[in-house]
Chain A
Amino acid sequence: MNPEETSRRLNQRKADKHSRLHSSNPLSTNPHNGFPALSPAADPAVISPQDPTLLIGSSLVATCTVSPDMRLRAEDLYWTLNGRRLPAASYAALGPSTLSVALARLNGSRQQSGDNLVCHSRDGGILAGSCLYVGLPPEKPVNITCWSKNMKDLTCKWAPGTEGETFLHTNYTLKYKRRWYGQDNTCQEYHTAGTYSCHIPKDLALFTPYEIWVEASNRLGVAVSDVVMLDILDVVTTDPPSDVHVSRVGDLEDQLSVRWSSPPALKDFLFQAKYQIQYRVEDSSEWKVVDDVGNQTSCRLAGLRPGTVYFVQVRCNPFSIYGSKKAGIWSDWSNPTAASTPRSERVAGGCDPKGGEQNTTLRRELKQFFGWVKKHAYGCSNLGIKLYDQWRVWLQKSHKTRNQVLPGDKL
């Protein structure tokens, strides 16, 4: 029988059943009516077992029995698995119209929708198919970590277990309840922070511990994680600072000033905050982190390259909320804010001073500095880096003035 003939027969068989259920009105086609109940007798062939679930490494013997109407014999049939023809050596004719195939040491399913084991007629037509689900039972989910954005919600993520891949579609359900009392709740919004994550948007209580766990299930079983206990106040994070301003410090070519505000979403709560800054030059992807900012909402970046664009980001860690003893969770970094340092007049033209010249310049500057301190610092109480910076601003201004008067005069 050629493929057209096989198709014609299959079509005819199905059309006969179809016509019993459809009216002649072309608009009456309703797919819910369109699929007649398929009884085994109506199918061109039947595979057994149908859609089995198996452990990796197990073996299977499947049979394909052709309907007598098809006028096909066992020797007219062959098998494919995921489109690849299985060797005839694994076949056995179990009757005039039944062909079996033996599959040994099965690997995990190639796709989660199941491997396709198909019985074909000699001409290549599909007579019947069965989906094989070969895999492993799920493992206990591990590493559950949760965070609450501004104490309003809770997001948790986890790892699927040490082995990971089960080759089968595995469903994860995050459950939670208030400790001691309260019923189990099921998280509804999955994949919000990655493949293995879930978001609980509301109805969370403060000042009470929660029990949280994850159940993994697939066709081969169920595994439940250990229960994690947490208090929302211990896992609070916040939005990144949104109003980060970066500006120059006078004409100081190696410094930038960064200012920001504390997180507004937490303004009504008792908490402390610490901040981190990271910055990088425009043409580099390497960030330099300043992690000793503490709870200040401004900071001066020093030691920068003159005449260079810098990107700056700030993040916040709210901790000790209502006296929580936990370390707090860092927010995301703020969007990068850019600013450039002033161009250095001394290195204009790309020519760095030689070492000897540098020493002479430094000595001269220090001499000038001490003279300036005598004049401007009253006692030692004000002596500090800010005073030094003020002096450098003054120095640069005086250089500028001098350059204007004597353009040929070099430092």
Chain B
Amino acid sequence: MAAAESPSTALRRRDLCSRGIRLAGKMRADVVDLLDAYVEQQGLDASASVAAVEGVPLAAVERWDEQTGTQRLLENLAAYRAFRALLAQMLEEQREQLGEADAGLGRALAAVLLQVSAFAYHLEELLRLESRGVPGEEGDEEEDGPPPPPRLSLFEQKLRGLGVLRELAQWAVRSVRDLRQLAKPSPATGAAPGLAESP
């Protein structure tokens, strides 16, 4: 963030934050509906405890109050980029196994994937506004591309889907709170100490 934030930048940040909050709120509602449909279609117990779902970023965070604005944005961006790839993979598996048998669920998955992509883009915009470079995605830098995902059993795929959607719903809540924090007016003179410390 610049030392002294211009009024237009502050206005733009507040605008991006408030739109982001609305988007995250809608995403949360849609993910909760999707979760219900998913659990029913997969025959899973909604309260099943899924021990660990690898690759799914956890919304749970310690010392949330102490995070800087940039930290919040970077962690959100990392999470939503991961969800974007995870949802795309779920969608592909869904089509592979069930074709169009449950087109409704496929459409709902695709809609949430779109929202996640839009939200990631929104976060990138906010990072640019903070005069922070937007980190590249890991896959972009690798010459040979990412290694192929390991083959999970069909039951593992079901559980992973459950974990992805549950955690995404949690993230949507956290993102609303993160953006509310970011939308708060910052001190006129640019201490922004947190930002300087952030990675």
Q: A-side interface residues toward B, CB under 8 Å?
A: 3, 6-7, 10-11, 14-15, 17-18, 23, 25-38, 50-51, 82-83, 110-116, 118, 124-126, 128-131, 169, 171, 190-191
Identify which of residues 150-175 in chain B touch chain A, using a CB-to-CB cut-off of 8 Å.
Answer: 150, 152-156, 158-160
Contact of B146 among A10, A15, A32, A131 (CB under 8 A): A32
A32 B85 Cβ-Cβ under 8 A: yes
The answer for the CA separation of A111 and B154 in the assembled complex, in Å, is 13
- Taking A3-B49, A129-B153 as contacts, is the C-beta distance between A31 and B42 under 8 angstroms? no
Residues of B within 8 A of A14 (CB): 52, 54
Most-contacted residue by chain A among B52, B57, B85 (CB, 10 A): B52
A35 B52 Cβ-Cβ under 8 A: no
Residues of A within 8 A of B135 (CB): 25, 27
Instruction: Check if B192 is an interface residue, CB within 8 A of chain A.
Output: no
B152 A35 Cβ-Cβ under 8 A: yes
The answer for the CA separation of A128 and B51 in the assembled complex, in Å, is 11
The answer for the CA separation of A83 and B52 in the assembled complex, in Å, is 19
B51 A31 Cβ-Cβ under 8 A: no
Contact of A113 among B56, B98, B152, B156 (CB under 8 A): B98
Residues of B within 8 A of A38 (CB): 150, 152, 156
Q: Pick 24 A–B contacts, CB within 8 A, sort by A.
A: A3-B49, A7-B49, A7-B51, A10-B52, A17-B54, A26-B78, A27-B137, A30-B82, A30-B85, A31-B86, A32-B146, A34-B55, A38-B152, A50-B153, A82-B43, A83-B43, A112-B101, A113-B42, A114-B154, A114-B155, A116-B155, A125-B49, A129-B156, A130-B153
B54 A18 Cβ-Cβ under 8 A: yes
B81 A27 Cβ-Cβ under 8 A: yes
Instruction: Report the minimal beta-carbon distance from A170 to chain B, rounded to whole angstroms.
Output: 8
A116 B44 Cβ-Cβ under 8 A: yes
Residues of A within 8 A of B149 (CB): 31-32, 35
Contact of A83 among B45, B74, B86, B158 (CB under 8 A): B45
- Taking A36-B54, A169-B97 as contacts, is the C-beta distance between A126 and B158 under 8 angstroms? no
A26 B74 Cβ-Cβ under 8 A: yes
Instruction: Report the minimal beta-carbon distance from B185 to chain A, rounded to whole angstroms.
Output: 27
B50 A115 Cβ-Cβ under 8 A: no
Q: Mark B18-51, 1 if CB is under 8 A from A, else 0.
A: 0000000000000000000000111111001111
Most-contacted residue by chain B among A26, A51, A115, A171 (CB, 10 A): A26
Residues of B within 8 A of A51 (CB): 153-155
